[in-house]
Amino acid sequence: MPRQVIVNMEELYSEQAKLNEISDYVKKVLNIAGEGNEVILTGQGPIWLYLKVAHALHGKALKLIYRSPVTGDVLIFDHSPY
C-alpha cells in the first residue's frame, strides 16, 4: 500500500530559492517522496520550482496533490489503480 508523503517546498531552500540549485531541490524531493507513494506538495515556493518538481515526480509518485490553505487539495495526477 502506498504511503502519504508531505513535501514542504519551503524546507528545500533557505531564504530564497535559486534557479541554479534546481537539480539539488529535485534530488531532495525525489529522496523524500520515494517510489510509488502519494505525494503532497505544500508550502511557499516559486512556481518554477513547483512545476519542475511536479514534472520530476511524474512516473515516480502514484498520486500527486498540491495542498494550499486557500484552495485545499488539488489533484495534479493520479495513477492509482484503486
Domain boundaries, given as residue ranges, for the chain: 4-78
pLDDT grade for 2, boundaries at 50, 70 and 90: confident
pLDDT given at position 1? 78
pLDDT for residue 56: 98
Cell of 48: 518554477
Contacts of 53 (CB under 8 A, 6+ apart): 7, 9, 25, 26, 29, 41
pLDDT in tens, 45-59: 999 999 999 999 999
C-alpha span between 13 and 16 (Å, rounded): 7
pLDDT of residue 47: 96
Name residue 24's amino acid: D
Beta strands in the chain (DSSP E): 4-8, 38-42, 63-68, 72-78
- pLDDT tens digits, 9-45: 999 999 999 999 999 999 999 999 999 999 999 999 9
